[in-house]
């Protein structure tokens, strides 16, 4: 059997500038969400999680070249560099690059931006990262709303199985911007408090920034202590609504079912679920219905949105990485913000960080336009 693995990884967020620091903060139930009052960004105060710009520039300037990069590009370069250096893989024609994002350099459209509006094209990210790291092949841009992070893993898996590449690096990220804040505000989806996924008092999302990178490979020589094998993955679009999820959870139900079938496991083999858990009324209810239809209502489940908010196109990848560390540590992380169950179907929400022997976990994501993606991963340690 041709096995594909997730290996070296990096997270940059309000909780730290590497995966270990971020995971340690999550293990200690520390949230990176705070009340932000920045009139240059948004006209009202809002709860969110943003990367420290001063620290970003300090770290980036340590090796700055004459090239000029946007904030998102700097974050992606820092994150991806950590993974490339740690893996010791030489960039050649057998190494691919996937960039996962929802909005890319959308802040270039702001009239105050020092960058031309053409930087808002997603191809700009591809060009900037390819040139900086001297990739030999054209990057693949994955932009499918909030499932982009997991979908990028699915794409990388297929590229390796088709022997187009031996290794694929993925970097994923989005920024908290006026464009994004205004958009979610127009949906009345922003919470006026730190978010509370799956809780009865939940009233919307917090937006956040978490740029993440990972190595996808079939070569066991490049595995780390938290590496996992991809057992199965699937994507299903229920085409329910431009922004609202299916009320029956049909798309998520089908994607998880398909991933389980490919993995050749049973629902009871799943030790832990890392849900999308945006903290909106409709998303959390949809997931609860889907998980109950799948017979997964008793599996320990959390949402990580209470730690760094909804990070859009990066959410699936960053939460996958945290899940990988969860398996390695045999630790179920507290679903930050959860108080009391507020969905119509039973779920086993993780209400306290606890030790438990873990082997297989399910990561799910859902997004605008009816997109739903599922990923099953197994520890190799």
As a 3-state breakdown, the chain gives helix, strand, coil percent values, each rounded to 5, of 35, 25, 40
Decide if pLDDT at 367 tops 80.
Answer: yes
Place of tokens 């730190």: 194
Q: Which residues contact 99 (CB under 8 A, 6 or more apart)?
A: 76, 122, 125, 126, 129, 139, 140, 141, 142, 152, 170, 171, 172
pLDDT given at position 171: 98
Q: Sketch out the chain's domains with CATH numbers.
A: 5-222 (3.40.47.10), 228-379 (3.40.47.10)
Helix (H), strand (E) at residue 319: helix 315-329
pLDDT-derived band at 243, boundaries 50, 70, 90: low
pLDDT given at position 312: 96
Whole-model pTM? 0.97
DSSP 28-90: TT----EEE--TTT-SS-EEEE---HHHHHHHHHTT--S----HHHHHHHHHHHHHHHHHTPP
pLDDT-derived band at 251, boundaries 50, 70, 90: very high
Structural contact between residues 126 and 138, judged by C-beta atoms closer than 8 angstroms: yes
Mean pLDDT of the chain: 95
Q: Encoding tokens for residue 39?
A: 């009139």
Structural contact between residues 199 and 128, judged by C-beta atoms closer than 8 angstroms: no
- 112-146 tens-digit pLDDT: 899 999 999 999 999 999 999 999 999 999 999 99
Question: How many Cα atoms occupy the beta-carbon half-sphere of 282 within 13 Å?
Answer: 15
- 333-365 tens-digit pLDDT: 999 999 999 999 999 999 999 999 999 999 999
pLDDT-derived band at 373, boundaries 50, 70, 90: very high
Structural contact between residues 138 and 68, judged by C-beta atoms closer than 8 angstroms: no
CA distance 273 to 288: 12
pLDDT-derived band at 1, boundaries 50, 70, 90: low
pLDDT given at position 64: 63
Residues for the chain: how many in total? Answer: 381
> Coil, helix or strand for 365?
strand
- DSSP state, residue 289: H
As a whole number of angstroms, the longest Cα–Cα distance in the chain is 56
pLDDT given at position 90: 97
């Amino acid at each position: 059997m041709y096995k594909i693995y997730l290996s070296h990884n990096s997270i940059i967020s309000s909780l730290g500038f590497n995966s270990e620091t971020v995971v340690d903060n999550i293990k200690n139930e520390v949230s990176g969400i705070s009340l932000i009052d920045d009139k240059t960004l948004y006209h009202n105060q809002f709860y969110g999680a943003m990367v420290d710009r001063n620290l970003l520039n300090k770290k980036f300037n340590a090796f700055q070249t004459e090239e000029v990069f946007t904030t998102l590009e700097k974050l992606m370069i820092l994150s991806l560099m950590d993974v490339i250096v740690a893996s010791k893989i030489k960039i050649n024609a057998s190494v691919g690059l996937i960039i996962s994002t929802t909005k890319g350099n959308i802040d270039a459209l702001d009239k105050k931006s020092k960058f031309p509006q053409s930087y808002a094209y997603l191809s700009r990210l591809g060009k900037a990262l390819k040139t900086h790291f001297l990739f030999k092949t054209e990057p693949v841009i994955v932009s499918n709303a909030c499932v982009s992070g997991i979908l990028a893993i699915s794409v990388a898996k297929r590229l390796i199985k088709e022997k187009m590449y031996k290794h694929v690096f993925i970097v994923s990220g989005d920024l908290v911007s006026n464009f994004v804040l205004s958009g979610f505000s127009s949906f009345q989806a922003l919470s006026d408090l730190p978010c509370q996924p799956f809780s009865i008092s939940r009233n919307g999302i917090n937006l956040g920034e978490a740029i993440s990178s990972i190595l996808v490979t079939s070569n066991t020589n490049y595995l780390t202590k938290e590496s996992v094998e991809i057992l199965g993955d699937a994507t299903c679009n229920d085409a329910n609504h431009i922004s609202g999820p299916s009320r029956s959870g049909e798309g998520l139900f089908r994607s998880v079912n398909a991933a389980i079938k490919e993995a050749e496991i049973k629902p009871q083999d799943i030790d832990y679920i890392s849900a999308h858990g945006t903290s909106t009324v409709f998303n959390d209810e949809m997931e609860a219905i889907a998980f109950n239809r799948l017979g997964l209502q008793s599996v320990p489940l959390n949402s990580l949105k209470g730690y760094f908010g909804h990070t859009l196109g990066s959410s699936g990848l960053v939460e996958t990485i945290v899940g990988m560390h969860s398996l390695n540590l045999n630790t179920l992380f507290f679903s930050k913000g959860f108080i009391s169950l507020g969905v119509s179907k039973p779920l086993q929400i993780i209400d306290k960080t606890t030790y438990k022997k873990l082997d297989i976990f399910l990561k799910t994501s859902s997004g605008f336009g009816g997109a739903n993606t599922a990923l099953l991963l197994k520890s190799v340690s």
